[in-house]
Structure 1
Amino acid sequence: MFEKLLAGTVLAVCLVLLLRMLMGERRRQRMDAALRPLQQRLRSWAHSLRQRRARPQPDAARVAEEAIERARRGSWNGNVYTPKSFKRPTKH
């Protein structure tokens, strides 16, 4: 069903563009002026979709603080950091 709808939409757009190419300059300008509000609505719709799908970025200060805390929990040998979670458990 979706494929047929998409194919029909693409066909309609192609036919409109073909007719636009065959028109004279004045009719083309009138057609462009008539379709401009539709174009702006489509752009705002696409922009709102992108905004809705955009994931909020984590707060940089919070992420930096978490990285500093992880570094404090590990051990340092010179400039080499070894997290405690990578150490093997000690055998007794």
Structure 2
Amino acid sequence: AAVCRETPGQVDTVGSFDLTAPDGGRLWNEGAPADIPVVDGVRLLVLDEPSYRRSWPAGRFFPGMRGDVILERALEQEETERWFALVSPAKDAPA
């Protein structure tokens, strides 16, 4: 978890979203990157609202390997619409 970046041990963490495949199917947190479907040559993962409350003790399993995220750019409106056209609502989403 990001909160554990500089903190040893584990911190209680709450799930902020569900991982969903482009076809609306569930991808479980225990999965691997290879479980994320390839669409138009890239792995496409949808972050949906959480369907249930969950928490777990999160920590850094590999303290010598720092995690990081860099936002390279924001999508333009046209590109955003193109990607949204390739995904379906979550299959177990409430009506």
The TM-score, its normalising length taken from structure 1, stands at 0.17
Larger relative helix fraction: 1
Question: Which is higher, the Rg of structure 1 or of structure 2?
Answer: 1
The TM-score, its normalising length taken from structure 2, stands at 0.17
The one of the two structures with greater contact order (alpha-carbon pairs below 8 A, sep at least 6) is 2
Larger relative strand fraction: 2
